[in-house]
Each structure stands twice: as structure tokens, then as C-alpha cells.
Amino acid sequence: MTAAQETRSPVLHGTRPGPVAPGGVAHAPSRAARAAILGTIGLLFLLPIVAMVEFTLRKGLGGGYDASRWVALAQDGLTGQYRQVLVALGNSVALAVGTVLIVLLLLVPTLLLVHIRFPRLRRVLEFVCILPISIPAIVLVVGLAPVYSLLSRLAGSGVWTLAFAYGITVLPYAYRAIQANLDGVDVRTLSEAARTLGAGWGSVLFRVLVPNLRRGILAAAFIAVAVVLGEFTIASLLSRVNLQTALVVVSKSDPYTAVILSLLALIFAFLLLLLIGRLGAERTRPRRRRPIGGQP
């Protein structure tokens, strides 16, 4: 029997067992239902944003609308009295990067190690990783305060140190995202296959496992960035400046501008997540054409 005689997989033929709606997954909602669901959810998200925009366009107590505050902010830029917001934004982005790095460099190898070599520790690891979700931020800060006082003496009180606390805050979400991906990939067999082909552990990790965990890692990165950009409590209580604390300061003197800055921060976060998504998009095509001497 030749390879061509074999039956192709269902994926190749685009068929699946059971009733399948034309062009879709079995029991998938109709196009209209999907549009209704997405429209409703979109409206729910859009309403507060529209309200924010409306608020920033108000003239004052006299009524009416104009874009004077937007124009003023655009003319002065963030170099004047709002320069602190720009600094805070930089802090938050740096913290987001730091937190993502902590998650990726610590959590991913640990999860893989437990999954491949110490599967019995999986429950323990899950408990440890999920634990922070049950601890309120204020309690976390109380516990972290003495650690940070020691850290300040050893490494200074730079805002970057917040990344450690954020790493803990993000841990439950990142764990779930990566673990869900791990459960869907036969990591053990893939790593064994790579090792029998001559790959060392470094190659196994970076050439085989990480590319196949891309989706989970990306989701973890998304969550980490979103949490860090929106975090206020820990930064405020530990007296560090990030985007959210800076916005609160601005809102005390100029609530309109604070809302404009919040809107800009939202757009920035959206674009950042879009960029991460594009960078991590999965490969669906071969890298290059046919090999030398290959058949057409």
C-alpha cells in the first residue's frame, strides 16, 4: 500500500464526526446569533468609553461640547504639568515587561520540569500558583512591606522592584493559561523525540517546547500586561509611581484631563496587546518553498 492510498485525516478533508453546520463547527451558533452576542458585549464595553469621551468634551456648567481640552493637551503635550504621567506610563511599561519576563523565565521552565520529570508535584504547584488569587492586594502589601523594606536597603527602592509583587499577582492567571496549553500538547513525547534526535535540553526547550506553547505563553503575557497596566493598589500602598497612581493624582486637580489620559492609556494598552498578538501569531505556512530536488 502506498501513502496515497491511505485515508486522510478528518482535518484535511474538513469533516468531523457528527452533525456539522455548513461551513462551521457542530452546534455552533448561527451567524446572526454570533453577531447579536458580539454586538451586545461590544455595546457593554463601549458604553463607559463613550461616556468618558462625552465627559471630556463637556464645556462646563453652561452646557455644550467642544474639544478644547483635547486640543490643549495635544498642544502642551505631556511635557508640562502632565509630564509625570509620561514617566508613570514608562514605569508601567517597564513593569509590564519585567513581570512578563519573571513569568516566562520562572514559570514556564518550572511548569515544564514538573510536567516532564516530577508529575506528582503538579497538584502542589497548582496550589501554590493559584494561592495569590485568594489573597487581597492589601493583605499582600502588608506581607510584602517588610520584604520591600529589606529590598530597598539591598537594591534601592526603584519602581522596577514592583515587578516581583506583580509577578505574584499575575501568577494564577499565567499558570492557568500555560497549563491549559500544556495539557493539550504531548510535551513528554515531543521532548523525548527531540532528545533521541540529538537535541540537548536547550534545543528541546527553545526549538520544540516553547514554539508549541506559544499560545499559552502569549495568553500569559497578555494577562500580565493587562494586569500591570491597570494595577493601582499595590503601587499606591508601596508608594511607587505607575500609570494608575499618576492618573489618580491628575484627577484630583483636573478630572477632565485625567479621563482623557485614561482614554489614551486604554488605546495604548489595546495597541500594545495587538502588537504582542501579531508578534506571537502562529505559523500556518511553510517558511520556504520546495526543497532542492523535491517533487513538485
Partner 1 sequence: MTRTTVSTTKAPTTANPGMAPAARRGTVVEFSGVSRQFGEHRALAGFDLTLHAGELVALLGPSGSGKTTALRALAGLESADAGTILIDGVDVSTLPTSRRDMGMVFQSYSLFPHLTAGENVEFGLRMRGVVGRDRRRRAADALALVGLDAHYDRFAHQLSGGQQQRVALARALVTEPRVLLLDEPLSALDAKVRVGLREEIRRIQTDLGITTLFVTHDQDEALAVADRVAVMRDGRIEQVGTPEDLYCRPASPFIADFVGLSNQLAGLVRHGFAEVYGAKLPLVDPSQGDGAVLVAVRPEDLELAGDGPDGVGPTGVVVATSFHGSLRRTRVRLGDGVVVSVQHGVQVRTVPGERIRLRFCGTPVSVDAVGIPGQRVMHGGEYGNA
Nearer CB in complex with partner 1: 89/208: 208
266 binds partner 1 (CB under 8 A): no
The answer to whether residue 215 forms part of the interface with partner 1 (CB under 8 A) is: no
Cβ proximity to partner 1: between 204 and 258 the closer is: 204
Task: Tell whether residue 119 is a contact of partner 1 (CB under 8 A).
Answer: no
In the complex, least distance from residue 127 CB atom to partner 1, rounded to whole angstroms: 24
In sequence order, what DSSP letters do the residues of 175-234 get, joined into one string?
HHHHHHHHHTS-HHHHHHHHHHTT--HHHIIIIIIHHHTHHHHHHHHHHHHHHHHH--HH
| Cβ-based nearer residue to partner 1, 140 or 210 | 210
Q: Does 25 bind partner 1 (CB under 8 A)?
A: no
Q: Measured between alpha carbons, how far is 18 from 28 in angstroms, rounded to an integer?
A: 13
Q: Which three-class secondary structure state does DSSP give residue 134?
A: helix
Give the whole-angstrom CA distance, residue 256 versus residue 124: 48
| Residue among 102, 137, 163, 194 that touches partner 1 (CB under 8 A) | 194
Q: Which of 278, 218, 240 is nearest to 95 (CA)?
A: 240
DSSP-assigned letters across all residues of 103-132: IIIIIHHHHHHHHHT-GGGHHHHHHHHHGG
Binding span for partner 1 by CB under 8 A among 91-99, 109-117, 205-213, 248-256 = 205-213
CA–CA gap between residue 96 and residue 162 (Å, rounded) = 10
Instruction: Judge contact between 184 and 213, C-beta under 8 A.
Output: no
Check binding of 120 to partner 1 (CB under 8 A).
no
Contact status: 278 vs partner 1 (CB under 8 A): no
> Any contact of residue 290 with partner 1 (CB under 8 A)?
yes
154 binds partner 1 (CB under 8 A): no
- Choose, by CB under 8 A, the member of 11, 61, 154, 279 that binds partner 1: 11
Query: Does residue number 203 form part of the binding site for partner 1 (CB under 8 A)?
Result: yes
Least CB distance to partner 1 at residue 77 (A): 44
Residue 183 near partner 1 by CB under 8 A = no
- 98, 158 contact by CB (below 8 A): no
| Cell numbers at 125, concatenated | 504547584
192 binds partner 1 (CB under 8 A): yes
Is 198 a binding residue for partner 1 by CB under 8 A? The answer is yes
Q: Does position 286 bind partner 1 by CB under 8 A?
A: yes
Does residue number 185 form part of the binding site for partner 1 (CB under 8 A)? yes
**Among the listed residues 66, 76, 183, 186, the single contact to partner 1 using CB under 8 A:** 186
Going by C-alpha positions, the residue among 30, 53, 36 that lies closest to residue 256 is 53
- Beta-carbon contacts of 112 under 8 Å, excluding residues fewer than 6 positions away, are 182, 187, 205, 209
Residues that bind partner 1 (CB under 8 A): 1-9, 11-12, 185-186, 189-190, 192-200, 203, 207-208, 211-212, 214, 282-283, 286-287, 289-296
